[in-house]
Structure 1
Amino acid sequence: MRLWIGLCLPRLPLEVFCPRWSADSLGVVLEQEQVMAVSPLARAAGIKPGMRRAGALMLAPQVRLHERSPELEAQALQAVALALLQYSPLVAQGEEATLLVDAGASLRLFGGVRALCRHIEASLRALGYTAQLSCAPTARGAWLLARAAMRRRRVLGMESLTRRLDGLPCALLPPARPYLEWFEGIGCRTLGQLRHLPRPGLQRRCGAALLDMLDDAHGHSTELFVWLEAPPTFRASLELFDRVEHADALLFGARRLLQQMTGWLCARQFAVERIQLLLAHERGRVARPPTVIDLALGEAVWRDEHLVRLLKERLAQLALDAPVIGLTLEALQVQPMAPPSDSLFPEPGGTPQERQRLLELLVARLGTDNVLQAAPRADYRPEAANQWLPLPAKAGAKNAQPDLPPGLPGMPRPGWLLAQPIALLMREHRPFYGSPLKMVSVAERIEAGWWGQSQARDYFIAEGLDHAHYWVYRERIAGCGEDAAPRWFLHGLFG
């Protein structure tokens, strides 16, 4: 199924300066000393598009004036296009702040047209922009529906698209705008009426570009596009609209950059293992080096949900030494995206990736020294055979593990090992712990230790009268005869 999604960003000049997250600002965008776009508060103050600068200042002296910047608009449109690459590798830029996405191959992956549109709208909200979405079997048809102020802009069939296009005004086509007075004079106001005019005369009067657009919209010609190509590396920056003094207020800007990185990762088929967020401070005489937030992941990811949670925890614990005026996000370490698991049944308790993400979230919230993992050591003695170390700080790295001694015994080990062995009483030549203990396993001899710390023990699994099982050992003292009374110790409890 061939389906195109058109995104028209009609308020892009305004949202470049006054994004959704600062909708309470009183902002106006000027072009050649005339008001071009206004924020909701500015409109409530009486400022309207087309006013002069002096008139806007008269109505609201505290209004923030911004000159229209084609460079910033192009950067914003590029950022949105890069984020859309997570939904389709075929994204092209159309005329008049419009993006076109060939989403036919993505429908099954995202669960249909409506679900895909909801995902795209969520990404736009995360970026801080609003857009009019449309769906059509042709790219030019999706472009026209997105540009038109219509309530229903989703069309899946060519017949429905033709009926919908026939009711649109001729002014939507850029080549038709110089001839609108002539069209009005002959009673041609809609695309349907324009389509029924004689083609030879229309071509001589208005040129071939108008007919080409009509043919593209109705699927009568092949449309050619220049697809957006993701750069080989990712580094994106964002200038904040005000000085931010609290770190947790930077999360919205970080999400905007993460959305772009997600599209870049999907387009390049990469998964990120390590990212770096730079918080830029004041420049000039009071310049300071940027604050660095480095996130290393145990498992590579290509979605932004986990990264957003990690950044939220890190920013909540960060105390800023100076206000932040800009953000820069860089993907420092990536690897090819791993294929999905081919196991038939899901693992109980979640996948290893989900467990690793949980540990990373705990580390970000509690600190590195408060989340530890077991690390075996090359020692036969049970109390020295393990140590607790912080989780690896580097993505994909493992804590340095020494080579374990060969031939480790396969005897059962208790679930609870005592910090210090407990000496046991002897009654009727048997060790006693609440009741006489009966040995129910053969002896396991352990001899280890160096430089005065050598140990020689015979370990047994013992059972009490209450059928509880214990891990006990008999100490072997060097230089003592066989008749010497043995000393017994309790070292662990079985579940």
Structure 2
Amino acid sequence: MTAGQRILSVWWPQLAIERWAKTNDLGPDAPVALTVEGTHGLVIAAVTKAAAHSGARVGARLTDARALDPSLINVPADLAGDAALVGRLARWAARWSPLVEIDGRDGLRLDITGVAHLFGDEAALVEDVRRRFAALGLSSRAAVAPTPAAAWALARFSPSPARGEELAVLLAPLPVAALRLSPQSVRTLERLGLKTIGALVGVPRRSLARRFREADNPLDALDRALGRKPEPLIATACEPCPRSLLRLEEPATYPEAAAQALEQLIPNLVGQLEQRHLGARRLMLIGFRVDGSMAVASVATSIPSREAKHLQRLLADKAAALDPEFGFDAFALEAEWTETLGAAQESLVEALSGTRDIARLIDRLCVKLGPERVRRPRARESHLPEQASDWVNAVSSLRGAEGDAAIQKRGKKLDCRASLAMTARPQRLLDRPEAISVIYATPEGVPRRFVWRRVVHDIDRVEGPERIAPEWWRAPSKCRLRDYYRVEDASGRRFWIYREGVIGDGRGGAPAWYLHGLFG
């Protein structure tokens, strides 16, 4: 153990399920288990609170958990996605330490020796770590100790490690599993009556070492935890962002200096992107002034790009607006957000898809109008008309091509009846259905007359109904089904109306009528 060394261990006990919950369509109370392939079938890797209450446990087989709760929902775990998230969090955690190690699939270990005073003290640093990860939607546990193994044990097994106590005293009441041994070694120790770390201290080393292999020797693990044997951290490899730098011999005081610097910065940056098979999503131009201050301009792209002319055009106006004040003596162009981009060829004989042209147009509009004023439609997984799409920022993390592919993939899953129904949808859909008064011959019959915005419409033709059930996995149990009708009034105007609910369905009073869209 290095004198004065301090290690911070961070653990996210629910990382997999919390990451899944951000992108799923199920409600927060759904009994969901994330599973992986095991030797004898699917094994549970993470569970929601509802699934835990019904008896599902991490490490149990899915078949055993479903015997306790047949309604348990199985979702394949995304181990690669979880690992990628941990890698991004490790790079982000460099704000607290220059040495960050990825600790398995759900944690980090940071060497905070000599840096805690920058945040006040160790307690303030730990609180800052918890608060920032909570803002990201991740529940975390953290502990500080003189050794990496002890920090790992305290973060996972100690309810609230007391400050100021000796390390051996803090570790003594913890279970032997806190020494990070294999499950077989833990079971062997428990059979011998050695259930806590403190119980291992008085055991003769030779007699205990004979029962275990070197890798699973609990005494070696104890020595690492107490600092008697070294355990260095392995820093996470972090490749720097592509960056192009230009230093000037003399300070430039004219406003055109930044725009002229782009002519040298962009080719250099594009070359780095090509070598690493990357495309830029966000570029930042920094002008360093002689007085130590900086001027910054940034732009974002809707799809990854390393086309020099396009990037030059996006940055030209913003670069010209940078104020040199007392003069610039250096410029830097950095691709702070990149995505993988391989070599691509549209077509030699067929018509071009136009995806790149649309992306360039979106990028130019965002530069001129601001990214918050440029939006695009996005398809959603919902069969309710008003929830089947929404509007998102045009420059978003979901690329347009991927969104189109997802829409096409979902479209292939629709059966013929659903496809025919979709073709009969109106061209204009109201943002919110508006209540109307309807006269009909029988409670379950077709409408004959309705009043919308104080105007009476006599119905001449009716098509329907098209029944749409409520989304029971999202909506509460009191939501009612809908019967949609395509109607035409005496003047030839066509409307899309629906009746919400059926008499006697037990979900409210009389059915209500709404107008949802207009044809033509």
Query: Normalization by structure 1: what TM-score?
Result: 0.46
Output the TM-score relative to the length of structure 2.
0.44
Give the number of the structure with larger relative contact order, counting CA–CA contacts within 8 Å between residues 6 or more apart: 1
